[in-house]
Structure 1
Amino acid sequence: MEDIPKEMVCLQKTTASKGYQCMKIQTPFPVNDEVLIKIKKVAICGSDINLYMWNETAKVIAALPFIPGHEATGIVVRKGPDVKNLKVGDRIAVENHFFCGKCFQCKEDRGDICASLNQYGHGKGTIHGGCCEYSVVSEKYCYRLQYGISDVAAVLLEPMGVAHNAIERLEVDGEAVLVIGCGPVGLFAVSCAKALGATKVFAVDVLEERLDLARKMGANETFNSKEGGSQKVKEEIMKITSGVGIGRICEASGAASMLNGCFSYLRKGGRITLVGLPKKPLHVENVLQDILFKSLNLNTVHGRRIFHTWEECEKLIADGKVDPLPVVSHQLPISKFEEAFKALLSGNACKIIMDPQL
């Protein structure tokens, strides 16, 4: 059995202020159905900016004190007395949406939209997140890795799962797909669409470097919407489709103007999934022509289907159908967390992975 130290290094926010402290705290001990996980990799994403800056959004979604990091993977090194399905040595990834298991949605096997959802790395329900050497998590939130993928790939299953869920809802087999927004989730949506049978994938963003990544992830054609916005994208799509419109859209930008405009070039009978997080109201100018008379199918997703999505994503990576590594722009030890968040805040980072063991 691994020699587990009495103290561990972690990042923690203890006061309502910007940043984190890198400190040593007592290594937790698992009780009941908890497992102690030696964290191998933890990833940070755009949503972590709220917590780092401690803005108004953070005050709603998080509670002090907490260890951040909602995307984490590691190995089980100790387990509580009530653990039934995991054993020491199992490699796992954490499902960061902590479902209650008791509400109507949970009883319908929809823990992804639990009515009493808490979140790993946000300090609601537990202080623990993944930015530490060891973390305790209930076994019911652990996905046991099955196909031997790397730790870096495993820590990317969480954001990839959001994209996979969005694309799966679109039913893309045999269809052309447009992905709007090429952040990490949008980039994964490109790859998942190709892997799930899309004939062509078009990608839109305002940054050329993101469009370069989209092509690496499998996009057949890309459009820069910085000049011309949604109207330019509409012109390109209508030209490509001879005026019919695109049949499948994954909106991953969260930009209100792009979201509001994309209904105008969705094909009649088409499908759209909203996955980006808009900060402004949805406003569609021509509701009759662009929504009601199109007989469209509108989907939204919140995280992953537990644990269907995790297994499907791991299979795609293991089978070589999706290569997640191009989205990784930085790999750093957790001691350099300030450098990691500086890169994230600058907009010059895509996916940042930290190693708590360095």
Structure 2
Amino acid sequence: MEGSMKAVVKTQPGPGAEMKEVEIPKPGPNQVLVKVKTTSICGSDYHIYSWNKWAENNVNIPQIMGHELAGDVVEVGENVSLVKVGDFVSAETHIICGHCYQCKTGQYHICVNTKILGVHTDGVFADYAVVDASNIWKNDSSILPEYASIQEPLGNAIDTIRAGNVSAKNILITGAGPAGLLSIPVAKAFGASQVIVSEPNDYRRELSKEIGADHVINPIEESLEDLVNDTTGGIGVDFVAEMSGNPTAISQGLKQITPGGSMAILGLPAEEVKLDLTEDLIFKGVNLIGITGREMFKTWYIARRLLKENMIDLEPIITHRFPLEDFNKGMELMKSGNCGKIILLP
């Protein structure tokens, strides 16, 4: 396909990005070209926009931002046979090597040579995007494009909650950013008994209640320990889903776990985390689990079933919709924390 398109491009170091006219990319032999219907802002997109240390170390500029999408295939490479023009698709964003020890033993989600769509390659904040055919996920036609574009972060929430085997268990979610918010209906769908959410932002606490959290607390102003003791009969929670990356939240969360319980950590701390491993982990026999991305492609099948069977409702979590040209408004909302999931519409 010839011509130009609009795209959000990180053009230089420092905060911000630009809307630019660029050439429509051409798919390689093993790639497809997707007409983007909807895309959504991830925390990592905001990190690139604000240009934190992680972004500085991972992103080569200039580069098109974004990695969460839903759209239609409009062109396929010459070697592509399993994806065709007209398919309604999303994308697994971890681009794996296929030959390292982890890949060869079926642990694709922790491939040591992973590259990420929109981080290490041009992304999807654009009219069109090129995606490796092996990373394409064919969507069920019954799923709305806006929901389909959120399946990638929904997978983060699914893998985090699955790690706790939460059926009939009391759980604590620390951090109600977009991933934490998505974890609430996932936990309920998986049969969690009580879902406690710890979140200092007023907007996101209220949203957590609307989505279905049983108890919500501001850990800065109230005692998380008292709430957990009151709601669990002094036992403590069986599982903590750590979604914030905040060192204090990680430490507080570990202290609320009943002996023999577990914590899964998706949040990425930007600084050193100090823990009392002897008292809070070792002597309590706590299982600590790191979560990266999604299990490829197991988590995508779970997301499809949850959405297709209406087992979760994503509508309350999508708090804002903007034209792609207004991406700056979405980024400012991400900075404020007064939002759930933000959709951009090319």
Relative to the length of structure 2, the TM-score reads 0.95
SS in 1 for 2:283: helix
Residues 81-136 of structure 1 deviation map (CA, whole Å, 9 limit, x = unaligned): 111211111111111111111111111222211101111112x2x3x201111111
Counterparts of 1:24 and 1:221, CA distance in 2:
47
Counterparts of 1:222 and 1:30, CA distance in 2:
47
Q: Which runs of 5+ in 1 are unaligned?
A: none
1:279 equivalent in structure 2: 270
1:5, distance to aligned residue in structure 2 (A): 5.2
Give 1:148's match in structure 2, choosing from 142, 155, 167.
142
SS in 2 for 1:316: helix
SS in 2 for 1:47: helix
Say whether 1:339 aligns with 2:329: yes
Once the two structures are superposed, the pairs formed by residues 135-174 of structure 1 within 5 Å of their partners are 135-146=129-140, 148-174=142-168
Give 1:295's match in structure 2, choosing from 285, 305, 314.
285
1:316, distance to aligned residue in structure 2 (A): 0.5
SS in 1 for 2:64: coil
Go from structure 1 to structure 2 and tell me whether the alpha carbon gap of 1:246 and 1:17 turns closer, same or farther (over 3 Å shift): closer
SS in 1 for 2:263: strand
Counterparts of 1:259 and 1:148, CA distance in 2:
38
2:205 equivalent in structure 1: 211
Say whether 1:240 aligns with 2:231: yes
Go from structure 1 to structure 2 and tell me whether the alpha carbon gap of 1:202 and 1:53 turns closer, same or farther (over 3 Å shift): closer
Question: Structure 1 stretches (4+) deviating beyond 4 angstroms?
Answer: none
1:227 equivalent in structure 2: 221
1:49 equivalent in structure 2: 46
| Paired residues of 1:147 and 1:315 also in contact (CA < 8 A) | no
2:115 equivalent in structure 1: 118
| Paired residues of 1:42 and 1:73 also in contact (CA < 8 A) | yes
1:179 equivalent in structure 2: 173
State which drifts further: 157-166 or 335-344.
Answer: 335-344
1:81 equivalent in structure 2: 78
Query: Counterpart of 1:248 in structure 2: which amino acid?
Result: F
Residues 150-169 of structure 1 deviation map (CA, whole Å, 9 limit, x = unaligned): 01001111111101000011
1:147, distance to aligned residue in structure 2 (A): 5.4
| Paired residues of 1:95 and 1:143 also in contact (CA < 8 A) | yes
Say whether 1:7 aligns with 2:1: no
Say whether 1:60 aligns with 2:50: no
Counterparts of 1:117 and 1:313, CA distance in 2:
22
Say whether 1:107 aligns with 2:104: yes
SS in 1 for 2:288: strand
2:260 equivalent in structure 1: 269
1:179, distance to aligned residue in structure 2 (A): 0.9
Query: Counterpart of 2:66 in structure 1: which amino acid?
Result: G
Go from structure 1 to structure 2 and tell me whether the alpha carbon gap of 1:100 and 1:167 turns closer, same or farther (over 3 Å shift): same
| Paired residues of 1:147 and 1:314 also in contact (CA < 8 A) | no
Counterparts of 2:272 and 2:251, CA distance in 1:
9
Counterparts of 1:110 and 1:303, CA distance in 2:
12
Say whether 1:354 aligns with 2:329: no
| Paired residues of 1:14 and 1:66 also in contact (CA < 8 A) | yes
Give 1:25's match in structure 2, choosing from 22, 26, 46.
22
Counterparts of 2:324 and 2:101, CA distance in 1:
39
SS in 1 for 2:325: helix
Counterparts of 1:213 and 1:348, CA distance in 2:
10
Counterparts of 1:338 and 1:241, CA distance in 2:
43
Q: How many corresponding residue pairs?
A: 346
Counterparts of 1:354 and 1:281, CA distance in 2:
34
1:41, distance to aligned residue in structure 2 (A): 0.8
Counterparts of 1:10 and 1:282, CA distance in 2:
37
What percent of counterpart residues are identical? 32
State which drifts further: 182-191 or 56-65.
Answer: 56-65
| Paired residues of 2:204 and 2:337 also in contact (CA < 8 A) | no
Go from structure 1 to structure 2 and tell me whether the alpha carbon gap of 1:57 and 1:238 turns closer, same or farther (over 3 Å shift): same
Query: Counterpart of 2:254 in structure 1: which amino acid?
Result: F
Once the two structures are superposed, the pairs formed by residues 304-343 of structure 1 within 5 Å of their partners are 304-343=294-333
Go from structure 1 to structure 2 and tell me whether the alpha carbon gap of 1:295 and 1:56 turns closer, same or farther (over 3 Å shift): closer
Counterparts of 2:279 and 2:325, CA distance in 1:
54
Counterparts of 1:220 and 1:98, CA distance in 2:
37
Counterparts of 1:332 and 1:320, CA distance in 2:
25
